[in-house]
Amino acid sequence: MISRETIDKIFETSRIEEVIGDFVTLKKSGSNYKGLSPFSSERTPSFMVSPAKQIFKDFSSGKGGNVVNFLMEHEHYTYPEALKYLAKKYNIEIEETGQTDEQKAQRTERESLFLVNDFANKYFQNQLWETKEGKAIGLSYFHERGFTDETIKTFQLGYSPEDWEAFTKQALTESYKLDYLVKTGLTAQKGERNYDRFRGRVMFPILSNTGRVLGFGGRTLQSDAKTAKYLNSPESEVYHKSKTLYGLFQSKNELSREDSCLLVEGYTDVISLHQAGVRNVVASSGTALTKEQITLIKRYTQNIVILYDGDPAGIKASLRGIDMILQEGLNVQVLLFPEGEDPDSYARKVSAIEFKEYIADEKQDFLRYKAKLLLKEAGNNPLEKSKAARDIVESIAIIPDALQRNAYVQECASVLQMDEKVLFAELAQVRKNQANKEQKDRKREEANSARLEVVNEIEAKQDDNLMSLQATKHFDQERSLCWLLLNYAEQEYVFSEEDPSEPEEENDEEPEKISVGLYILAELAHDNISFHHPVFNQLLTEMTNHFNNTGEILKAEHFIRKEKIDIVNQVVDLITEKHVLHKWKLKKINLPDSHDFVKTFTFEAVLRYREKRIGDYIAEIQQKLLDSDNPAAELVIQIERLNKLNELRVSINKQLNRVI
């Protein structure tokens, strides 16, 4: 865990305009900066960065937050990854706390493996560009594949020399431990002999979404049938083949921008498409598509287009991938290339525009693709046609969303020219069978645990529904009070029970002024009030506790540095002004100061919220009075409470110049 001191230092040192300026073209606009939204397409800049508040706000997409939140949204970093990115940018040493000796040792090993991989990556690139063997064999091969020097450098391609121990010797000379060389799979051992696993191969580094080297893929240039064409790094502490996607680091921004992911099979498919101008592409790295890889794509887009070869193996892989993608709730389309072609060869054969047009024209919804494929096999055989229909319905049944399932059944009926009712009945039966199978599996594995999980799930959904209902209750009033606390807490006024907009009476004694923050917290605490909205209530609770302990009001800056994005977003919304008034005073036009209304607004905001909460209590009592089982004594007590609350409500509304 990164220490609080380190996190504070990162926030204090980082300049949000500098960091965002690395990704977005910003122009000065008064005290702020403006630019085009990096999260949506727009022609008029609505993306604002405030150096004074150290926040950004994108009015077109609604996103907002601090410098860490920007990196999490734009670069899809986790919270720790974003902090580490900033620490590296500003040369801040990361201090971590709360780790056991075992955890520290594990972290040290992970970092050592990353360092070894990073060294290897630089070594292989140097061999490719700086040595005769690398240029003559490796670089020539890449050029023959049609890759430009720029593309080769973008994907950090390299070359491992034919020598049995060249890399291992160099790494040991540079003081890298043999143990880590072996664990990363860069060095292999046979008896007491150490040798380079990837000797004589062109190298494809496999990067994480943050650009760290996880492992390598190496392609041999020999035609020896006994030698594996491709060789990958073995599983290690840092590399898990089923959890990585080749090309993700280079394509992640395009996946979000295009809101679509093109999924291919091989390294060269990704590189060729990228060079052709199609950048929203990743590869499953030669492994069968996994749930973890689909989840990784889901972080960037809900839409996947499978681009596989048109041979039987490619068709089989596409069918296997369809159901997995549907099960994760994503939208899937399929595109097969002409027989004998793959994404790599086709991208080199046609122009970038033609390739994009081919994708747009030839990609098919999974249902039509599967129907076309299965009906072709069924021919005129009605029995085979019914099997095809059942196969398609089984895929539809996997889709989590009920509306999507219904829409696909209707589409299926149209494509197969079958009765909708029959297909809906089949869908119901398939889902019932699936549910029964899942239930039996759960019971077989751990019956008691399964029942407990079901109960917890139901209770969680009920709690979520209740929380959602409560969170919307009095949202505007709670938001107004939080807005005052975050923007005007330090402003001091004389508050009284009278209308604060009235002029104050002259008095020999100087009336006592108190701050807006203290007034709101004291008034709410007096009535023991908490907010319904979870984020607003957290703001109120933290402010109250901090004031009770220190006598000071927490500032917006404290909440902007929170890890939870929902808190940061709400706070940014509350302290951000979308429009800034022109400096009319320069033209001798005097407008009311924004602070002039704060006293009146604060007084009325507290009263309005108090009146709303009294309304809640009145409604509760009225509901209790309807209960015929209440004893007479209890009814008398409730009626007395009701009368007092009604009197208080009338009094509050008089102060607000309103009549119930």
pLDDT class for 318, splitting at 50, 70, 90?
confident
Q: Which range, of 37-41, 98-102, 259-263, 482-486, averages the lowest pLDDT? A: 98-102
Residue range of the domain that includes 567: 476-655
Which of 164-178, 349-363, 428-442 reaches the highest mean pLDDT?
Answer: 164-178
Verify that 482 and 463 share a domain, yes or no. Answer: no
Q: Which residues of 110-141 are buried (b: 16+ CB within 10 A; e: fewer)?
A: eebbbebbebbbebbbebbbebebbeebbbeb
Burial (0-12, 13-18, 19+ Cβ within 10 Å), 505: exposed
Which residue type is seen at 39?
Answer: F
Verify that 498 and 598 share a domain, yes or no. Answer: yes
pLDDT in tens, 591-639: 455 556 788 888 888 888 888 888 888 888 888 777 667 677 777 787 8
- Residue 69: what are its φ and ψ, rounded to 5°? -60, -35
CB 92 within 8 A of CB 9: yes
Verify that 460 and 491 share a domain, yes or no. Answer: no
d(CA 170, CA 176): 9
Verify that 492 and 459 share a domain, yes or no. Answer: no
d(CA 554, CA 517): 9
pLDDT attached to residue 584? 47
Verify that 426 and 542 share a domain, yes or no. Answer: no
CB 177 within 8 A of CB 170: no
In a domain, 170, yes or no: yes
Verify that 562 and 497 share a domain, yes or no. Answer: yes
Residue 585 is given by DSSP the state G
d(CA 293, CA 284): 7
CB 390 within 8 A of CB 377: no
Angle, alpha carbons 206-246-259 (nearest 5°)? 140
User: Of the residues 471, 495, 523, which one is the last residue of a structural domain?
Assistant: 471
CB 54 within 8 A of CB 67: yes
**Which string of DSSP letters, residue by residue, matches 496-538?**
-SS-TTSPPPP-SSPPPPEEHHHHHHHHHHHTT---SSHHHHH
Verify that 564 and 420 share a domain, yes or no. Answer: no
pLDDT attached to residue 67? 92
- Residue 152: what are its φ and ψ, rounded to 5°? -60, -40
pLDDT attached to residue 579? 52
- Tokens 């024209």 locate to 361
Residue 300 is given by DSSP the state T
Give the CA distances from residue 380 to residues 376, 409, 415, 419, in Å, rounded to whole numbers and listed in that order.
Answer: 9, 22, 15, 18
Verify that 541 and 445 share a domain, yes or no. Answer: no
d(CA 53, CA 57): 11
Name the nearest CA neighbour of 114 among 204, 195, 208. Answer: 208
Verify that 419 and 438 share a domain, yes or no. Answer: yes
User: Of the residues 176, 208, 239, which one is the last residue of a structural domain?
Assistant: 239
Q: Which range, of 301-315, 379-393, 425-439, 515-529, averages the lowest pLDDT? A: 301-315
In a domain, 513, yes or no: yes
Give the CA distances from residue 269 to residues 7, 278, 283, 284, 348, in Å, rounded to whole numbers and listed in that order.
Answer: 41, 11, 8, 11, 10
User: Of the residues 208, 239, 270, which one is the last residue of a structural domain?
Assistant: 239
Verify that 601 and 493 share a domain, yes or no. Answer: yes
Reported in sequence order, the residue ranges of 269-341 that DSSP labels E, i.e. its strands, are 281-283, 303-308, 331-336
Do the strands 213-220 and 230-232 form a parallel or antiparallel pair, or are they unpaired?
A: antiparallel
Average pLDDT over residues 409-418: 86
Q: Please tell me whether residue 190 adopts helix, strand or coil conformation.
A: strand
Verify that 370 and 466 share a domain, yes or no. Answer: yes
Verify that 57 and 121 share a domain, yes or no. Answer: no
pLDDT at 99 over 60: no
Q: Which two tokens stand for residue 355?
A: 């390739």
